[in-house]
Each structure stands twice: as C-alpha cells, then as structure tokens.
C-alpha cells in the first residue's frame, strides 16, 4: 500500500465523509450531491476532486452528467491496513464482528 496520507486527509473533512456516505446508497452526479449541502457547487467539485485524488471515488460520464461512486475497496483496504499496523491482534479480533448500531 502506498502512503495513505491523501486518504486520511481526504477523510478529515466532514463534508467529504458525508459525500462518501451518500454515495454508499447510490451513485450520484455532482449536481445532486451539491443539492444535499449548503455549499456552493465549485466547493463540492473541489471536494470531489480531492476524494478522487485519494482514490476514494471514481467518476463516469453518463449523458450530460458525471456520476460519482465510492471505491469502497480502496477505502476498506487503507483503513484496515492501518488498523493492523497500530492495533494488537486481540483488539482487531474484537472489532471483526462489529455492525453499525
């Protein structure tokens, strides 16, 4: 795994984490993502490009729009590798069976 700094920096912003959560449910065009926040279109666009640079989202064009989707694979890989690098096995075991409350 390459340096995960960009991934963690990308995740450090609440708006970007919200975007990822929204994309978990459904792939969305930038316009619909913007509509969910009280933030200008260009600002969301920049958040998306930061997420893209970190490898956390992918884009595809569909007609007039650009549809974004989460790269859950990459996200899970980075975070779980880091957990392994810092937490003792015993703790990791304990969290394996975790589900969202």
Residues in contact with DNA by CB under 7 A are 9, 12-13, 15, 29-32, 38-43, 45-50, 59, 61, 63-67
Q: Does 100 bind its own copies (CB under 8 A)?
A: yes
Residues in the chain: 101
Alpha-helical (H) ranges within the chain are 5-11, 14-25, 30-35, 41-53, 72-86, 89-96
Q: Which two tokens stand for residue 67?
A: 């549809």
Residues interacting with its own copies, by CB under 8 A?
Answer: 3-5, 8-9, 11-14, 17, 20-21, 24, 70, 72-73, 75-77, 79-88, 91-92, 94-96, 98-100
């Amino acid at each position: 795994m390459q340096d995960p700094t960009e991934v963690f920096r990308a995740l450090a912003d609440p708006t970007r984490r919200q975007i990822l959560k929204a994309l978990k449910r459904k792939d969305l065009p930038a316009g619909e993502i913007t509509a969910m926040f009280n933030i200008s279109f260009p600002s969301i666009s920049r958040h998306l490009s930061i997420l893209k640079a970190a490898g956390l989202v992918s884009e595809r064009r569909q007609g007039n729009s650009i549809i974004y989707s989460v790269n859950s694979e990459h996200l899970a890989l980075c975070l779980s590798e880091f957990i392994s690098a810092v937490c003792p096995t015993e703790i990791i075991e304990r969290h394996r069976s975790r589900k969202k409350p």
